[in-house]
Amino acid sequence: MSTHTQILYQIVFSTKNREACLLKNGRPELFKYIWSVIKNHQCHLYRINGVEDHLHIATHLHPSVCLSDFVKDIKLSASSFIKDKKLFQGFSGWQDGYGAFTYSFKEKERLVDYVKNQEEHHKVITFKEEYISLLNEHGVAFDEKYLL
């Protein structure tokens, strides 16, 4: 029998110290590159977006892929890409860690819309507020002192 899965994730991570260095004009090139990394892992990208200090990725995770290795590869590859291309002045890397939240496939369109509308969303809410909301929504215990 074949393996069949539908593992839908929202992955969130920020720049080191939440540096606001991911300028809008360079993001499409970064997103295209990250899409190629995701594709190389046999995963399906539904949407990627972000603002100056963090990214959101809505993706299907292939059953052969370990989440932590997947995120590590995205972050390491994207860091090298940004530095090689000199894409964002002031970029010094990504934060340690990440958030990863699973969703029912029935919620896919809502998730894609949420990721798509990050710029509008962050006109009224900070990344920290958004991240705490995601942690609470998904029942993840956390200590606020570890949130930048």
Q: Domain 8-146 - what CATH class? A: alpha beta
Nearest to 36 by CA among 21, 44, 24: 44
In Å, how far are 24, 36, 84, 85, 122 from 88, measured between CA atoms? 10, 19, 10, 8, 20
Enumerate residue ranges in the chain where pLDDT < 50: none
Report domain extents, the chain. Answer: 8-146
For residue 31, give every residue at least 6 positions away whose Cβ sits within 8 Å of its Cβ, in sequence order, or none. 48, 49
In Å, how far are 8, 62, 76, 116 from 109, measured between CA atoms? 11, 19, 29, 10
Please report the pLDDT score of residue 148 as a whole number.
Answer: 63
Question: Are 17 and 47 in contact, with CB atoms under 8 Å apart?
Answer: no
pLDDT in tens, 30-71: 999 999 999 999 999 999 999 999 999 999 999 999 999 999
Question: Are 13 and 92 in contact, with CB atoms under 8 Å apart?
Answer: no
Please report the pLDDT score of residue 5 as a whole number.
Answer: 87
Question: Are 56 and 122 in contact, with CB atoms under 8 Å apart?
Answer: no
Please report the pLDDT score of residue 2 as a whole number.
Answer: 84
Please report the pLDDT score of residue 32 as a whole number.
Answer: 98
With a threshold of 0.85, does the pTM exceed it? yes
- The tokens describing 129, both together, are 């507020």
